[in-house]
């Protein structure tokens, strides 16, 4: 998977255990996380429960083995962006990553525009005059 992601020009940081992943999140905040549900020291669901409240904007794509779709659905309810079944269909993975990153970019852009507009259209910035044009009833 690393080779495929690098061939798509992504910079990759890897963690093989939950403990390594938690430590990696202390050092850097990634643009996206791919998360296997079966890890040597625990469940990816536990990691998802911990990460999403702290980093709600990081898209997480869950990787799951066939037959654990109910757990993948649980992951989606906990905030995962998407899930990919094993064996990995790399075309589907590439599309999921591209869509997740674009969605993240658009949400970030919207939030920045919204903050900018809030200050631009704040009450103290509104100038107007009052004219009587007639009576209005609502």
CATH number, domain of 29, equals: 3.40.50.2300
Has residue 129 been placed in a domain?
no
Beta strands 42-43; 82-86: pairing state:
unpaired
Beta strands 60-65; 82-86: pairing state:
parallel
C-alpha dihedral, 38 to 73 to 96 to 52, nearest 10°: -70
The model's pLDDT over 54-80, given as tens digits with 9 standing for 90+, comes to 999 999 999 988 667 788 789 999 999
Residue percentage of the chain with pLDDT more than 90: 56
The model's pLDDT over 101-112, given as tens digits with 9 standing for 90+, comes to 999 899 888 777
Question: How remote is the C-alpha of 137 from its chain's centroid?
Answer: 47
**pTM for this one?**
0.77
Q: Which domain holds residue 45?
A: 2-118
Has residue 112 been placed in a domain?
yes
Has residue 13 been placed in a domain?
yes
The total of structural domains in the chain comes to 1
The model's pLDDT over 20-50, given as tens digits with 9 standing for 90+, comes to 999 999 999 999 999 998 889 998 899 999 9
Find the DSSP H helices in the chain: 2-7, 18-27, 44-54, 69-77, 90-120
Is the predicted pLDDT of residue 138 greater than 50, yes or no?
Answer: no
Has residue 123 been placed in a domain?
no
Has residue 26 been placed in a domain?
yes
Has residue 104 been placed in a domain?
yes
Has residue 130 been placed in a domain?
no
Has residue 76 been placed in a domain?
yes
């Amino acid at each position: 998977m690393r080779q495929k992601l690098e061939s798509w020009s992504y910079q990759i940081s890897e963690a093989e255990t939950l403990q390594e992943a938690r430590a990696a999140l202390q050092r850097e905040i990634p643009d996206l996380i791919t998360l296997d549900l079966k890890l040597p020291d625990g469940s990816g669901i536990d990691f998802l429960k911990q990460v999403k409240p702290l980093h709600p904007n990081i898209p997480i794509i869950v990787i799951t083995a066939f037959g654990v779709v109910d757990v993948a659905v649980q992951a989606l309810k906990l905030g995962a962006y998407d899930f990919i079944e094993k064996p990995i269909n790399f075309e589907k993975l590439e599309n999921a990553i591209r869509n997740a990153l674009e969605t993240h970019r658009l949400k970030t852009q919207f939030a920045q525009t919204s903050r900018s507009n809030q200050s631009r259209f704040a009450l103290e910035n509104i100038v107007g005059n009052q004219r009587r044009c007639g009576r209005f009833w609502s």
